[in-house]
Structure 1
Amino acid sequence: MPDGASVFVQGEPVDSFPEFAPEARRGTVRRITVVGEEVLHRPCQPATEFGTAELTQLIDDMFTTMYLAEGVGLAANQIGVDLRLFVYDCPDDDDVRHVGHVLNPVVEPLPENDRTLIIDNEGCLSVPGPHMELARPETTRLRGVDKDGAEVTLEASGYFARCLRHETDHLNGWLYIDRLSKRDRKKALREMERMQEDVLARRAERAEEFEG
């Protein structure tokens, strides 16, 4: 990582970047799917068409929806779209900001000498409310393509590595609660029942402010 770089867009350092990705200014708010909906629980279809206006609009909508839901990542099936795509705007543990989108992501296997697990709190926009402790690898290397079909490679550590694995899990039909013990999964779902109404009301309020 270059010295002094504080923002990476599509894995490349940039000199400056706005508070919100420019895509969000063009997007429309979409409804976020919730645990139990079929589209969240099966693998998504790979992208085969690139450079289309429809794909660009989808990415714009995903950024808008992610920001208004106060998330750091969002997978396409979280807005009901069966496509291997996610967007992100996430810091790492060194407060370096990472922004972008990836289609057809693949997490590469970690070297045997670099498989440290970190336990940290994790939540999900499709499990509104609760956060639970979950072990994830400290580092991640992911490859995929952008909306025009150009190759993207991301090297991540800490919280950003967790984000990349969380979003890739979504595209494989997994929620973070599926990686918990049965006891902790039940606890998370109980907490969601208690918290969901307030969380969704806050999202609706933010969406009305944005559209107004």
Structure 2
Amino acid sequence: MIYPIVAYGDPVLKKVAQDIEKGSLDVKKISEDMFETMENAHGVGLAAPQVGLNIRLFIIDTAVFDDKEITPVRKVFVNPIIEEEWGEDWPYEEGCLSIPGVRAEVYRPANLRIRYFDTEWKEHVEEYDGMCARVIQHEYDHIEGVLFVDYLSSIKKRLLKGKLTNISKGECDASYRMKFPLKK
């Protein structure tokens, strides 16, 4: 099932997501649907709040980068916790399926260690670097109620304010189905 992507301005995107209790939800089915949704929207990652679910789950698939230097990683992260981030902060122009048409340079640490469960409820502790780390950090921010535009300077935020308001009203172009909080 392809979910509609929740647009900027929806309160679920600014909430800290809730832990998932083992057995309370079908995390396999939810993650399969999220992969289908992400692939339909041509994304590289998707967090549950972006499909209106206030739960600590996100997915990534870095194979879409089609870059031999980026290790393809396709994973589901359930109840993740970033335990440590280190290394030099590096810039990259990020975008977000919930904020179509907006991109901005964001600095993030180069490395991280994350603890999470997979869909079988097996616990993992893994380290990532480079682009994989960045995608994980971006999606992890979503379950913490943080958007990439929150990292921008106040001047850049003011410059984007009208565009962000228009997105929340549904006045934007997206090639995928979306849900807009202020659309009449």
User: TM-score, structure 1 length as denominator?
Assistant: 0.74
1:104 aligns with 2:79: yes
1:43 match: secondary structure: coil
After TM superposition, the structure 1 = structure 2 runs for residues 122-137 of structure 1, keeping only pairs within 5 Å, are 122-137=94-109
Q: Which residue of 2 aligns with 1:72?
A: 44
2:5 match: secondary structure: coil
Q: Which residue of 1 aligns with 2:181?
A: none
1:31-63, Cα deviation, whole Å (9 max, x unpaired): 1111111111110000112495x3221111100
1:152 aligns with 2:155: no
After TM superposition, the structure 1 = structure 2 runs for residues 20-169 of structure 1, keeping only pairs within 5 Å, are 28-50=1-23, 54-91=26-63, 94-110=69-85, 114-169=86-141
1:131-189, Cα deviation, whole Å (9 max, x unpaired): 10010011121111112210123321111111111111100111111111122223344
Q: CA RMSD in A?
A: 2.1
1:36 match: secondary structure: coil
Could you say which structure has the greater relative contact order, defined with CA pairs below 8 angstroms and 6 or more residues apart?
2
Shift of 1:198: 2.0
Decide whether aligned partners of structure 1 residues 33 and 161 sit closer, same or farther in structure 2, where only a CA change above 3 A counts: same
Q: Distance in 2 between matches of 1:188 and 1:147?
A: 38
Q: Distance in 1 between matches of 2:75 and 2:136?
A: 11
Q: Distance in 2 between matches of 1:107 and 1:196?
A: 35
Structure 1 unaligned spans of 5+: 1-27, 205-212
2:38 match: secondary structure: helix
Q: Is the 8 A contact 2:78 2:118 kept in 1?
A: yes
Larger radius of gyration: 1
> Which amino acid in 1 is paired with 2:51?
I
Shift of 1:191: 4.4
Q: Distance in 2 between matches of 1:154 and 1:127?
A: 29
Q: Distance in 2 between matches of 1:84 and 1:42?
A: 11
2:75 match: secondary structure: strand
Q: Distance in 2 between matches of 1:74 and 1:104?
A: 14
> Which amino acid in 2 is paired with 1:98?
V
User: TM-score, structure 2 length as denominator?
Assistant: 0.84
Q: Which residue of 2 aligns with 1:17?
A: none
Q: How many residues align?
A: 171
Q: Which residue of 2 aligns with 1:198?
A: 173
